[in-house]
Amino acid sequence: MVAIAMESSSKAFFALKISEGSLRKLLPRYREIVSSTIPTFFSYLGRMRLQRLYFHTRLTSSKIYRRSITEYYIFVGDKVDRPVSTSIYFLLPSGSISSLHRIPCAETWHFYIGEPLTILELHDDGHFEFTVLGSDLEAGHRPQYTVPPNTWFGSFPTLDISSYSTDGSVLAKAPRREPELHYSLVGCTCAPAFQFEDFELATQAEKLLTVAPKAGPLLEYIIQSN
């Protein structure tokens, strides 16, 4: 059994245990999912209210780094005791985004099935970096990519955007597509482990315009309003 961690509207966390075997039954052929299984797959994944995204916890390491000053800790001022690593399944349907956020650990993305997904990073010097996660290596897709710690980043379905400029000043959306037919299923592995307590979500595009002053259209898109 594995646990799905979710955030309720009261900011309290709870866990729903489901059989991993049930997930495997939804993916009888790794590369050949039929569209009729996707609504069921949605229902088996946890919904993170904070970003309105679907995810399923695959692994949380049993080894813990403690915060005590007499023991080894990962980050100065760490907010919580922290497992060595965590790994999740992450499903991003068309029409959704993973809003701009940052965490104090490296996060490695792994592409599994579906359509390509674009990871966007905003660096301290104001430049954006775009990485397409996918299976078409000849088109420049990456099957795996690691976002460095403390970097603002988000993601969106690549085909949801018809064009954009690298400085964020231009962004054009593609016509709406059916989310149950168009999606990306990826994995995200954090080391040290992801913890909700140090998840920092960007909530106002205006604040990051001081870092990237031309990027209004892109920031408005990738920063989810409350």
Direct distance between the N- and C-terminal alpha carbons of the chain, in angstroms, rounded to an integer: 34
In this prediction, residue 198 carries a pLDDT of 83
In this prediction, residue 9 carries a pLDDT of 29
Q: What is the pTM of this model?
A: 0.69
- Beta-carbon contacts of 134 under 8 Å, excluding residues fewer than 6 positions away, are 111, 115, 116, 117, 141, 142, 143, 158
User: Whole-angstrom Cα distance, residue 125 to residue 44?
Assistant: 40
In this prediction, residue 195 carries a pLDDT of 84
Map out the domains of the chain with their CATH numbers. 2-222 (2.60.120.10)
In this prediction, residue 226 carries a pLDDT of 52
In this prediction, residue 46 carries a pLDDT of 52
Burial of 193 (0-12, 13-18, 19+ CB in 10 A): buried
User: Whole-angstrom Cα distance, residue 36 to residue 58?
Assistant: 24
Stretches where the chain sits below pLDDT 50 are 1-37, 44, 48-50, 52, 54-56, 58-59, 61, 64-76
Per-residue model confidence as pLDDT tens digits over 154-203: 999 999 999 999 999 999 999 999 998 999 999 999 988 888 888 899 98
In this prediction, residue 25 carries a pLDDT of 46
Neighbours of 105 (CB within 10 A): 20
Query: Average per-residue pLDDT in the chain?
Result: 74
